[in-house]
Structure 1
């Protein structure tokens, strides 16, 4: 069995433009990671949860339309992508010292191992990745990946 074939199937869903959908989206990301047995500590899962909240909230605030969330496990990193209908990336330098908003991408940059964005035909995808707390190699890597695919 090749390692690529043993990765869990990415999970993708639409999030409606309703503020109550933000907590549900972040909880679902954590539930998926736990279901897949992604080797992330509770602290790393909290970081992924917060980063998800920020990206989904940004998408809702700037488009007032639904967005699409995708979660993938690469074998080394948990990747969360949020696609929306705006081609414009919100500025991570926009926040003023006394404002209470505008710091979402600064938090994502600080809490994730990597992040970025790329344009789509109609919009963009903003993503972040959280690395596994410990490298998963050899037989233990194969066991984590095989168990995750059986559970789905």
Structure 2
């Protein structure tokens, strides 16, 4: 049971991002800035994983939706939650999977690095999200193995992502 006092949790931060490649970097850096501003107990390694996962979701929204989208960063008291809300009805990975390897390779990376991730319909579109705990960072050897596995899959398997 979570005994966190919800009244003391920081308010989620939401901002709109334009669907262009130049907007991805500032948006992912803002995710990190919010986590640091809240002084969350994340190691540098855990923050690197947050940055990679945020970059993947933000990049996908920018590339495939072609319309402005929203990024929200929240703290549950136990996990950092990053959500990307867009107006596309197409599920992530084209088949609704995250981290299964059936869609974009970056989604497999999110599935491997995040504590949990998923998506749900929202209004006229969807929300794709991931959560990470402060102690979630993979040890360096496991992290390298995940990165190599995703890179290898890019070389050996055709990309099955549909927009």
Q: TM-score, normalised by structure 1?
A: 0.79
Q: Name the structure 2 match of 1:61.
A: 63
* Cα distance in 1 between the residues matched to 2:45 and 2:134: 12
Q: Name the structure 2 match of 1:51.
A: 53
Count how many residue pairs are aligned between Structure 1 and Structure 2.
127
Q: TM-score, normalised by structure 2?
A: 0.74
Structure 2: tracts of 5 or more residues without a match: 137-163
Equivalent positions of 1:21-40 (< 5 A) are 21-40=23-42
Deviations 1:71-125 (A, max 9, x none): 0011100000000011111325346xxxxxx311101001100000000120000
Cα RMSD over matched residues?
1.5
Moved more, 85-94 or 2-11: 85-94
Determine if contact 2:24/2:62 at 8 Å carries over to the other structure. no
Structure 1: tracts of 5 or more residues without a match: 96-101, 135-152
Runs of 4+, deviation exceeding 6 Å: none
Q: Which has the higher contact order (CA 8 A, sep 6+)?
A: 1
Q: Name the structure 1 match of 2:88.
A: 86
Deviations 1:24-70 (A, max 9, x none): 11111111101101111101101111111100111111111111000
